Structure 1
Amino acid sequence: MSDSRGPCPEVANEITRELGGFDCSGAPLVEVRNPADLTHWTMPLLEVVILAGAVFALWYAVRRLRQHGDPTNLALMFGGLFYLTVNEPVLYFPNKFGLMDDVGLNFVHNVFTVQFMYDRLPLYISALYIALPMLAYEAVRVTGVFQRYGLVAGALAVGFVHSAYYEIFDTLGPQLSWWAWNRDAPSNSVFLDAVPVGSITLYSAVSVAGLAYGLGLLVGRPTWAGRPPRGIRLVLGTLAVGVFALVVMLSVGAFERVVRGLGGGDDAYAVVLYVELAIVWVGGAIALVASWRAARREGTAEASLYSRVYGWSFLAAFAFFWAVSIPSRLDAEGGTTNQGTELGNLPFATLCFVAAIGVTVIAGHGGRRGAADDPGSNSLAEASVTGA
């Protein structure tokens, strides 16, 4: 900590002033704070909600491995964490990776109870990479999309579900000072009110769809065929799942930059982002609903314990957080609260709530009377995977 700024770009300190004033002088490894001293009183509650989901996800993944011999949930967890480990440092320290001119510093997190990387990475964000992808994957797993329609449809469905849950959180965070976006970053040129559309498309939808495709290809297919990977094969497959998510995100992001670089500008960039998001949402929603309806007709509809318990808990917690935000939203002017924070897009957040509630009903309660909760071997689990 000899440098008071640590490895952060100078602009980081300008952004953190909006969050209560802190610099890049946190410990390189881990910093712990009193939760009562955080900027906004919702912050420790948010940590509890997300960390509880990650702990529950770990228990659930181990349960599925022990009871059903299915390692896909564990591979999803650790593949997601590997993706975070590779991806997040680039976002926090673009100056160290030669990306300040092309990408810039996208955002800065506020400081929470436990922070890593010079106060850049809150512990709850690491937990978020576990809890929400698990919600998304479980919704798709129990409705049988992967087995019924193939890996592409399954990946789109996971991306859609994850985006619906994630954007309930993403559109609210800036208002409650959980983080602040950098509107001057080259990669943040198109916004939907308080949130860059690039974040909505790439991080909430596309990257997780890539994560799910890699999971299905490398771990899911052999598991569904009765040959679940074990040992070094499982470890390497899990790491490759995280790499797959990064490659898909970078490939789609590169296409977007090409469109903008060829003279399309921000308008063309915005069109591409919204089209990509629509492909994930519409394609994923159609596949999920169609597979659920087919499962009900066939009498194979399942329910997921994780979706039921954590899905409703997450929605209840964020309904509360959104209710807390209403007074400052009503007093806001020009999309900015009296505290100087930006408002998320309420119609989009409402759409996400509706979609997430529907998914939680489908995945958390099955589709037939007496449906077993989280059965390990049924007709869908034993079915062969179709298509790519």
Structure 2
Amino acid sequence: MESRPEPFSWWVAFRNPAENYRNHPTYLVPDVIYHVIAALLLAHALRRGGRYPCLYFSALAHGVFTEVFSYWVPQINNFWHGHATVMFAGQRLPSYIVCQYIAVIYTSSVAAARLRLGLFATACATALTDSLYYHVFDVTGVKMLWWSWHDTDPNVYDRTYWVPWGSPYWRLSFASSFTLLFHGVHGMLGGQGMFQKGSLVAELGSAAVAVFLTFPVGVATQFIPLFHVVKDILVSELGSAAVAVFLTYPVGVATQFVPLFHVVKDVHGERLVAELGSAAVAVFLTFPVGVATQFIPLFHVVKDVLGVHAKRQLELDIDDLSVTDCLFSR
């Protein structure tokens, strides 16, 4: 007898967690942890008040929009999540991934805002924090087969630790764009501070712009010119990643900061000077400071002195994994 699909099964579907544990025990780790983190961050947002709840739910909505949009566009529909306990959107979107967007964006944005760097520099700091946070999750997830990338797509072919070069820069471009739009539009609509609650128009307007325009703004102003153009011209994933990192600040100033805040520069003149100054320091000192304090002591010293070849070993380990261990079948 032919079985009928359950009502609303495209919107939400459930899987027995005991079955997930038997077939793929590590997959329960992010499934549980990110729901707990999201619940704790919701309590934090509600307790702090102001714009914190708006940031929380904007990050949630942005995550859902970004994921579902990616499933519908063939050119970027090149990854598949394993089946978690709760799945949305035709069993493509695990609920813990939605919570993961909240955890990464909310935490990074609040932490960067505490530095009191000014709007544009805060957006850059948010992007760097977001990318570092997410990259650990990215490397771990693909190693444990929590998701899979398309093996033959040229856009994700060249990788490090089996993570495509474009993945960390996707986080850089989207996190900076989200922060600029969320806080910048709020200021343009009359808001007085990053987390000081404004009018209903300012709150809804800034949230809607951040949710629906982060994707096109991030792609058009950063991801395409700084990653794909360099990759397609130089045919070098490594070169495109390096150019993307080193040119994020100046291109962001030219394509987003100046056009977006030109209207309010006369009102906040001193603040604008402070923001541009901090951005300039970040542009010209990130490279030497990063190389001198982190890259040489943490990478070259370990690799050259201790002879650690973690990348090769990790990729060999991934090749030995059986794809049948993953829960990608429905």
Whole-angstrom distance in 2 between the partners of 1:43 and 1:62: 30
Question: In 2 relative to 1, CA 52–226 (structure 1 residues): closer, same or farther, beyond 3 Å?
Answer: closer
The answer to whether the aligner puts 1:49 opposite 2:49 as a matched pair is no
Structure 1 residue 338: deviation in Å?
3.3
Whole-angstrom distance in 2 between the partners of 1:244 and 1:46: 28
Corresponding residue SS for 1:163:
helix
The answer to whether the aligner puts 1:206 opposite 2:173 as a matched pair is yes
Residue in 2 that maps onto 1:197: 165
The answer to whether the aligner puts 1:254 opposite 2:224 as a matched pair is yes
Whole-angstrom distance in 2 between the partners of 1:218 and 1:107: 32
How many residue pairs match? The answer is 260
Which deviations, in whole Å up to 9, do the C-alpha atoms of 1:256-301 show, x marking residues without a partner?
Answer: 334445x433x1x5412233235569x9xx969x99xxxxxxxxxx
Corresponding residue SS for 2:239:
helix
Unaligned runs of 5+ in 1: 7-25, 292-328, 342-388
* 8 A Cα contact 1:81 1:126, kept in partner: yes
**Of 4, 12, 31, which residue of structure 2 is paired with 1:30?**
12
Q: Which amino acid aligns with 1:257?
A: H
Normalising by structure 2, we get a TM-score of: 0.69
Percent of aligned pairs sharing the same letter: 22
Question: In 2 relative to 1, CA 86–331 (structure 1 residues): closer, same or farther, beyond 3 Å?
Answer: closer
Question: In 2 relative to 1, CA 333–90 (structure 1 residues): closer, same or farther, beyond 3 Å?
Answer: closer
Corresponding residue SS for 2:148:
strand
Corresponding residue SS for 2:141:
coil
The answer to whether the aligner puts 1:172 opposite 2:140 as a matched pair is yes
Unaligned runs of 5+ in 2: 253-276, 283-310, 324-330
Whole-angstrom distance in 1 between the partners of 2:202 and 2:18: 45
**Of 63, 66, 74, which residue of structure 2 is paired with 1:87?**
66
Whole-angstrom distance in 1 between the partners of 2:30 and 2:185: 33
Residue in 1 that maps onto 2:316: 334
Residue in 2 that maps onto 1:22: none
Corresponding residue SS for 1:115:
strand
Is the helix fraction higher in 1 or 2? Answer: 2
Q: Which amino acid aligns with 2:321?
A: Q
Compare 226-235 and 246-255 and name the one that shifted more.
226-235
Question: In 2 relative to 1, CA 111–226 (structure 1 residues): closer, same or farther, beyond 3 Å?
Answer: closer
* 8 A Cα contact 1:82 1:242, kept in partner: yes
* 8 A Cα contact 1:109 1:120, kept in partner: yes
**Of 228, 243, 246, which residue of structure 1 is paired with 2:212?**
243
Structure number with the bigger relative contact order (C-alpha 8 A, sep ≥ 6) is: 1
Whole-angstrom distance in 1 between the partners of 2:105 and 2:203: 19
Whole-angstrom distance in 1 between the partners of 2:144 and 2:158: 21
Normalising by structure 1, we get a TM-score of: 0.59
Question: In 2 relative to 1, CA 278–42 (structure 1 residues): closer, same or farther, beyond 3 Å?
Answer: farther
Q: Which amino acid aligns with 2:245?
A: L
* 8 A Cα contact 1:145 1:153, kept in partner: yes
Corresponding residue SS for 2:320:
coil
Which deviations, in whole Å up to 9, do the C-alpha atoms of 1:31-86 show, x marking residues without a partner?
Answer: 11111211421222211211111111112112111xxxx21x22322222332233
* 8 A Cα contact 1:106 1:187, kept in partner: no
Whole-angstrom distance in 1 between the partners of 2:64 and 2:134: 19
